[in-house]
A = this chain, B = another copy of it.
Amino acid sequence: MDDAMSGRQPRVLIHDPTLRDGHHAVRHQLDREQLHAYAAAADAAGLPVVEIGHGNGLGASSLQIGRARLSDEEMLDTVRGALTRSRMGVFMAPGWGTSKDLRNAVALGADVVRIAAHCTEATVTERHLDVVRSHGAEAQGVLLMSHMASPEQLTEQCALLVRFGAQAVGIFDSAGHYLPADVTARITAITAAVDVPVIFHGHNNLGLAITNSISAVRAGASIIDATARGFGAGAGNTQLEVLVAVLDRLGHSTGIDLRRLLAAADTAEEHLMPAPPTIDSISLVSGLAGVFSGFKKPVLETARRQGVDPIQLLFELGKRQAVAGQEDLIGDVARQLKQDLTRADETSPTTSTERQAP
């Protein structure tokens, strides 16, 4: 079959957070052997950047968010020893991490440092982007839960990240909520406004992660995040080896050896995860509702404890635009739903089920 799109297209830089975003799927419990096995395989395949750490980034290991098996230092030290060609990346969200964490990470060999902010709060990244630059690592700025902001807002926020010194900026579809047209509109607006590489990070809740990533590339993004087998919370991330194969068919080179990448993905499936992510009903609804994938486990636990419908709970959390860090809201909304249902049952037996329709 003829590949309608083939012919040379812009080169794409693949950024691989398998050992950071994938960490969410195993409650941050990867050990030295697992980190080394995957990092070495990704390095052999020629991945440009291998990002590692606690799922929520530097300094995030804690009782509330979840303790990682290894310290940031142990993870950085292990992966540094496994990389010969790939650059080592780290991620930090101000509030969870500090300037000290950034200095340590750069001292331990981090080449690329991403400072992340909620999609409307780029201002919180100024000091940290400056710390990264001043210590000589590449500084990138990324906006989380970006479906909650308009193309105009995201463009303004990305311009701010560049003003703060970000050498690449972009958006995360943290909830896996985007349709391709949403990605095209946002990346087109951002690329038109900034003069640094633009990043897109997708999730697969609606089965559109590969397509959304391709839409981002066509709209001008040049750095795309993807993880081996889609390793990540809920429905998982954009599947790395699939993306590289599709980009190749579309004429975009990535500099990655597909055969070695398939071996790395097999290593990931065998050594990192109980099973590759799939789109179950809760993950699908989470994407529809626009709720952060990390909420899946607490939502299921709370729904069971409170005796409410987890799907209804997710749609309610979506309406209230809950974001990571607001896990407390899950219990509040669940209790509210339970009260409404009880009242509804007292008045009309059908109301509660009617209300459950999405």
Complex CA gap A180/B250 in Å reads: 11
Distance between Cα atoms of A26 and B262 in the complex (Å): 25
CA–CA, A327 to B245, complex, Å?
A: 26
Given contacts A5-B181, A259-B358, 7 further A-B contacts (CB under 8 A): A1-B178, A206-B210, A245-B284, A249-B288, A257-B357, A262-B281, A265-B281
Residues of B within 8 A of A269 (CB): 280
Q: List the 9 shortest-distance A-B pairs measured between CB atoms, nearest first.
A: A4-B181, A207-B210, A1-B147, A211-B211, A276-B278, A262-B281, A207-B242, A258-B358, A206-B246
Within 276-292 of A, Cβ neighbours of B (below 8 Å) are at 276-281, 284-285, 288, 290
In the complex, A179 has a CB within 8 A of chain B = yes
Q: Is the CB of A211 within 8 A of B177?
A: no
Q: What residues of B have a CB within 8 angstroms of the CB of A276 in the complex? A: 278-280
Interface centre among A181, A229, A259, by most chain B C-beta atoms within 10 angstroms, is A259
- Chain A: residues with Cβ within 8 Å of the partner, total of 53
User: What residues of B have a CB within 8 angstroms of the CB of A180 in the complex?
Assistant: 211
203-224 of chain A: CB within 8 A of chain B = 206-211
A241 at interface by CB-CB < 8 Å: yes
Q: Which of A297-348 contact B (CB under 8 A)?
A: 311
Do residues A281 and B241 form an inter-chain contact, with CB atoms below 8 A?
A: yes
Residue-wise interface mask of A (226-252) relative to B, using a CB-CB cutoff of 8 A (1 in contact, 0 not):
000100000000010111011001100
By a CB distance below 8 angstroms, the chain B residues around A206 are 210, 242, 245-246, 249
B2, B185, B243, B275: the one within 8 Å of A4 (CB): B185
On chain B, the residues within 8 Å of A280 by CB distance are 229, 266, 269, 276
Q: A1-B182, A4-B185, A246-B207 are in contact. Are A278 and B278 (CB under 8 A)?
A: yes
Instruction: List 10 contacting pairs A-B, 8 Å CB cutoff, sorted by A.
Output: A179-B250, A207-B246, A210-B211, A229-B280, A245-B288, A257-B357, A258-B358, A262-B284, A266-B281, A275-B278
Give A257's nearest chain B residue, CB to CB.
Answer: B357
| A156–chain B nearest beta-carbon distance, Å | 17
A196 contacts B by Cβ under 8 Å? no
How far apart sit A178 and B181, CA to CA, in the bound complex (Å)?
Answer: 20
Q: Please, which residues of chain B bring their CB within 8 A of the CB of A209?
A: 207
Say whether A1 contacts B177, CB under 8 Å: yes
In the assembled complex, the Cα of A101 lies from the Cα of B69 at a distance in Å of 60
- Specify which chain B residues have a CB less than 8 angstroms from the CB of A177 in the assembled complex: 1
Q: A208-B211, A208-B246, A245-B284 in contact; A229/B181 too (CB < 8 A)?
A: no
A264 (CB) vs chain B CBs: closest residue: B281
What is the minimal beta-carbon distance from A203 to any residue of chain B, in angstroms? 13
Alpha-carbon separation in the docked complex, A184 to B242 (Å) = 21
Which of B208, B290, B356 contacts A259 (CB under 8 A)?
B356
